[in-house]
Structure 1
Amino acid sequence: MSAPSTPVTAEAPGALARFLDGDVWFSFKNSPVAIGATVVAILCAVFALGAPWLAPHNPLDLASLDLMDARLPPAWMPDGKAAYLLGTDDQGRDILSALMYGSRISLFVGLASVLVSVVIGVGLGLLSGYVGGRVDSFIMRVCDVMLSFPSILIALLIDGVGRAMFPNAHDTLAFTVLIISISLTGWVQYARTVRGSTLVERQREYVQAARVIGVSPARIMRRHVLPNVLGPVLVLATIHIATAIITEATLSFLGVGVPPTSPSLGTLIRVGQDFLFSGEWWITIFPGLVLVTIALSVNLLGDWLRDALNPRLR
C-alpha cells in the first residue's frame, strides 16, 4: 500500500520578487533615461555623502587655506595646479572639495524640507478629505492663501523673521529655520493632491465596510486610505526634491540661506558671481553645473515615476 501523498503548497513570493515582476521595474529596465538619471543621482549622492573621505581638501578648515593659491584656474589650464583639479576660489578653497561639501548641505536641506512638507501636507490632506465640512473648507482656504504668494517670497519672509528673532543663532538653528521656511511653502501641493484622492477613496466599499464594523476614523485613514493615496505623493516628492534644492540655492544666493561657514551650492554661486566677468569663470560655472545636474536627474526620475505609476500609460 502506497503512502498518501501530501499536497505541495507554493510559497508566496516575497516583496522583492513581486517588485521585480511588477510593471514599475519593467518600465525602469526599458527606460534609458530613467537608468541614466538614477546613475547620475546616485553618483551625486555618493560624492556628497562621502565628502569627508573623498574630497582632496577640507574647504571648511580655515587653517589649511592659503591665500597664495586663491583664484587658481583648473589644472588643465595654464597656471593651474594638479592639486586643484577644478581650480580655487577667492579664499584659496579647492572648488572640487567645496562642491562635494556644498552638495552635501544642499541635498540634506532639500531632503529634510521635502520630508517635513510630506508629513504636514499628507496629514492635512487626509484630514481635509476624510472629515470634510468646515475642516475641509478651512484647510483649503489656507492652501489658497499660500498659493496666492510666490513660494520664494514666503521662504524669504519666514527665513528673515527667524533670523531677526534669533540673530545669534548657531548653525543648527539656522539650518532648522531654512528647512521650515522651505517646508511651509511646499506642503500645499501634497495637501491638495491627497485631499482629492481621499475624497474618492472614502466612498469605496472597503471604507464603508470599516465604518460599519466600528473602526475609528483615525485607523481608517492610517490603515486603509493612506496606503492608497501614496502613489501621487511619491511622484510629487521626487519632483519636489529638485525644487527644494533650487529654492535653498536661491536663498543662499540671496544671502539668507545657510551660514557662510557652511557653504552650499547657492553660496558658491554667489561668491563666484563677483569674479565671473573678470576671467575666473570656474568659481561660479562648476557649482552651477552641479546644481543643474542634480536638479535635472531628479526631475527626470520624477517624470519617469509619474509615467510608470500612471495606469493609463501601461
Structure 2
Amino acid sequence: MSERTSIKDDAPLLDRIRNNPEPALRWLAVLGVLVALQVGALFGAMMELPPWQTIADRLFGLPLLALFEPVGSVLASIGDRLAEIPTLLSRDVIPNRGHRVPGGQQFAADIAGFTVEFWRWEGTFLGLPAAIAWAIRVALIYLYAFGCLAWFWKGYLVFRNHYRYADWTPADDMIDRMRTHRWGQFGFVVIAMFFMMAMFAPALGPTVVEENIQEPYSYETEYLDQESGEVRSTLVGNANLGSRSRGGGSNGNHGIGTYDDYDRFHPFGTLPNGKDLFTFLAAGSRVSLFIGLLALGISSVIAFSLAMVSAYYKGAVDLGAVILSDSIQAMPRLLVLIGAVVILRGTWIADIYNGGLLLALLLGSWGWPAMWRAIRGPSLQVVQEEWVDAAKSYGQTPRRIMRKHMAPYVVGYMLIYGSMTLGGIIISVSGLSFLGLGITPPTPEWGRAIDLGQSYIATDSWHISIVPGLLIVIVVTAFNALGDGIRDAIDPQSDTGSGGEAAAAGGGA
C-alpha cells in the first residue's frame, strides 16, 4: 500500500503528516536553515514598510489606539531587535566599501582598449577591489534566493509524492505545460529577479539609501587621495558633489561600472546629483513593488467579489455592475489620476510613504473594472455548469457555492490578468513620477530617475535615463510573458507557443 493510501483519503493534512513525518521534517529542517541565514534581513524589510501606526491613528483616532499602544511598542521593539540579527549575505559580512592602500598599486593591464589598474584594498572583503567584492555579494544573494525558490518547489514535490490524496490532478498538467513554455519561463525568471532586488535591496546596493541618498551629510567616507598619497575622509555629500554625472567634459560623468575619485564603485553610474544609481534603482524597486501589489490586491478583491455576485445573481445585479464599470472606464484614467493626486497632495495620506500609499489606493480603486471585465465571462460560464446546479439542489448557500464551486475556476484567469496588470501599474507609477506627480523626493522611484536624466540622454550621461527605462521595459515585458505562460498552461487550446509574439498583446501594460 502506498504512503498516500495508508490512511483514509479524507484525513486532514496534519494526520497524513503524522502518519509519515520524515519527508516533511527533512524539508522543514532545511527551510529553517535557509530562513535563519537571512532572518535579520527579513525583519529589516518588514520594519521599512509604511507606518501603519500613523495610518491607524488617522483612521481610528487616539482613544482606540491608546488601548493597543503597549502591545504595539513591544512588537516594534522585538522587530527592531530581530532586524539587527547578523545575516550571512549582508554588507557587514561581505563589505565592498573601503579604500585603496597607499602605495598598493600592484600592476596595470590593457583590457579591451582600457587601462585597468589593480590595487590592494583595505576594508573590503578579503582585500579585493570594491567592484569584485560587490559582485561576489550580489552573486551569492541571487544564488541564495534562487536556492530558496528551488527548495519551495521541492516542498511541492514532497506534498505531491507523499501527502496528496490523488496520484494526479489537473494542476499537474498545468505545471507540466508551464515547464515547457520558454516564454513564460523567461517572464518568471525576470520577475523573480525583480522581486529579489526589492527584497534584498539594502544588501544588493554598493551603498545604502540612508548614507548615499537620504542623509549624505551625516556620514563620512574614506578614500585614497592620489595627489598626496594619503588616506583622507570626507562627508558623503561632498563626495557626491564630486561624482556628479552631467553630460561629461567639465561637468563630469561617472558611467556604468566606474569608480569615482573617492574609491566608490558605481555599477550603473551616478545621478546628476552624484548619488549612486544602482542603489537608487534597487530601493525604487521596493516602492514599485509595494504600490503594485497593494493596488493589484485592491483591484482583485473588488473585481473578484463583484464577478462572483454578478455571475450568480445575474439580472439587475449584473446590469448594475456593467453600468458602474462602463462609467468608470469612460473617464480618462490618466487625467483622473493626475487630478486626484493634485487634489490630495496636501492631505495626510499623501505624506505616507511619500505618496506611495496614495498612488496604490488610487490605482487599485480605479483599476478593478478592467479586471472584472476579464473574469466576468469565465464567471458567467462556470455558474452554468452542472456541478453548480447540483450544489444548488442540495441546498448549499450562495456564499459556499461561490467559494467552493465557482472561485477555483476563476482564480486562474485572475492570475493571467493580474500578472499583466502589475506591469501596467509599474508603468503608471513611473509615468506619474516622471511628471512630478507620483513619488516625492527623497524616496527613490524608477520614473524619477528617468526624469532626472532626460536632459542628458544625448550626452555621455545617457545611463541616467536609459538604464531605468530599459529595466521598466524588461520587467513589464516579463509580466506579460508570465501571463501568456499561465494562460497557455491553464488553457492549452489558446497555446501560442513559446515564442515572444504574444508579449505585444499584454493588456496590463
TM-score (normalised: structure 2): 0.56
- Distance between the aligned counterparts of 1:118 and 1:153, measured in 2? 23
| 8 A contact 2:311–2:379 mirrored in 1 | yes
1:35-71 deviation digits (Å, cap 9, x = unpaired): 2332222222212221111211124333233211111
1:58 aligns with 2:208: yes
| 8 A contact 1:156–1:181 mirrored in 2 | no
Q: Which residue of 2 aligns with 1:134?
A: 316
| 8 A contact 1:129–1:198 mirrored in 2 | yes
1:68 aligns with 2:242: yes
Q: Shift of the alpha carbon at 1:14?
A: 7.2
Name the % identity: 29
Instruction: Name which of 180, 204, 209 aligns with 1:30.
Output: 180
Q: Which residue of 1 aligns with 2:125?
A: none
- Distance between the aligned counterparts of 2:304 and 2:349, measured in 1? 34
Unaligned runs of 5+ in 1: 1-7
Q: Which residue of 1 aligns with 2:265?
A: 83
Q: Which residue of 2 aligns with 1:285?
A: 466
- Distance between the aligned counterparts of 2:338 and 2:409, measured in 1? 35
Q: Shift of the alpha carbon at 1:76?
A: 5.1
Q: Shift of the alpha carbon at 1:73?
A: 2.0
Q: Report the CA distance shift for 1:123/1:76 in structure 2 as closer, same or farther (over 3 A).
A: closer
| 8 A contact 2:328–2:366 mirrored in 1 | yes
1:92 aligns with 2:265: no
Unaligned runs of 5+ in 2: 6-156, 162-167, 217-235, 246-252, 496-509
Read off the aligned partner of 1:176 and give its amino acid letter: L
Q: Report the CA distance shift for 1:311/1:36 in structure 2 as closer, same or farther (over 3 A).
A: closer
TM-score (normalised: structure 1): 0.87
| 8 A contact 2:197–2:282 mirrored in 1 | yes
TM alignment of 1:203-222, pairs within 5 A: 203-222=384-403
Q: Report the CA distance shift for 1:278/1:20 in structure 2 as closer, same or farther (over 3 A).
A: same
Q: Which residue of 1 aligns with 2:429?
A: 248
**Greater mean alpha carbon deviation, residues 19-28 or residues 209-218:** 19-28
Q: Shift of the alpha carbon at 1:253?
A: 1.0
Q: Report the CA distance shift for 1:112/1:33 in structure 2 as closer, same or farther (over 3 A).
A: same
1:262 aligns with 2:443: yes
| 8 A contact 1:126–1:194 mirrored in 2 | no
| 8 A contact 1:103–1:265 mirrored in 2 | yes
Q: Which residue of 2 aligns with 1:305?
A: 486
Q: Which residue of 2 aligns with 1:3?
A: none
Q: Report the CA distance shift for 1:29/1:195 in structure 2 as closer, same or farther (over 3 A).
A: closer
- Distance between the aligned counterparts of 2:389 and 2:259, measured in 1? 74
Q: Report the CA distance shift for 1:40/1:19 in structure 2 as closer, same or farther (over 3 A).
A: farther
Q: Report the CA distance shift for 1:49/1:232 in structure 2 as closer, same or farther (over 3 A).
A: same
Q: Which residue of 1 aligns with 2:352?
A: 171
Read off the aligned partner of 1:36 and give its amino acid letter: F
Query: Which fold has the larger relative contact order, with Cα–Cα distance below 8 Å and residues 6 or more apart in sequence?
Result: 1
Q: Shift of the alpha carbon at 1:278?
A: 4.6
Q: Which residue of 2 aligns with 1:46?
A: 196
1:11 aligns with 2:4: yes
1:179-211 deviation digits (Å, cap 9, x = unpaired): 011112321122223332222222222222222
CA RMSD of aligned residues (A): 2.6
| 8 A contact 2:429–2:447 mirrored in 1 | yes
Q: Report the CA distance shift for 1:262/1:77 in structure 2 as closer, same or farther (over 3 A).
A: closer
TM alignment of 1:188-203, pairs within 5 A: 188-203=369-384
| 8 A contact 2:350–2:357 mirrored in 1 | no
- Distance between the aligned counterparts of 1:275 and 1:21, measured in 2? 50
| 8 A contact 2:258–2:267 mirrored in 1 | no
Q: Shift of the alpha carbon at 1:77?
A: 6.6
- Distance between the aligned counterparts of 2:379 and 2:257, measured in 1? 57
**Greater mean alpha carbon deviation, residues 118-127 or residues 63-72:** 63-72
- Distance between the aligned counterparts of 1:98 and 1:35, measured in 2? 28
Q: Shift of the alpha carbon at 1:144?
A: 0.8
- Distance between the aligned counterparts of 1:24 and 1:175, measured in 2? 36
Q: Report the CA distance shift for 1:87/1:207 in structure 2 as closer, same or farther (over 3 A).
A: same
Query: How many pairs were matched up?
Result: 306
Q: Report the CA distance shift for 1:217/1:171 in structure 2 as closer, same or farther (over 3 A).
A: same
1:206-227 deviation digits (Å, cap 9, x = unpaired): 2222222322212211222111
- Distance between the aligned counterparts of 1:56 and 1:163, measured in 2? 33
Q: Report the CA distance shift for 1:298/1:16 in structure 2 as closer, same or farther (over 3 A).
A: farther
Q: Which residue of 2 aligns with 1:101?
A: 283
- Distance between the aligned counterparts of 1:14 and 1:75, measured in 2? 44
| 8 A contact 1:249–1:264 mirrored in 2 | yes
| 8 A contact 2:202–2:208 mirrored in 1 | yes
| 8 A contact 2:270–2:276 mirrored in 1 | yes
- Distance between the aligned counterparts of 1:134 and 1:311, measured in 2? 35
Q: Shift of the alpha carbon at 1:172?
A: 3.3
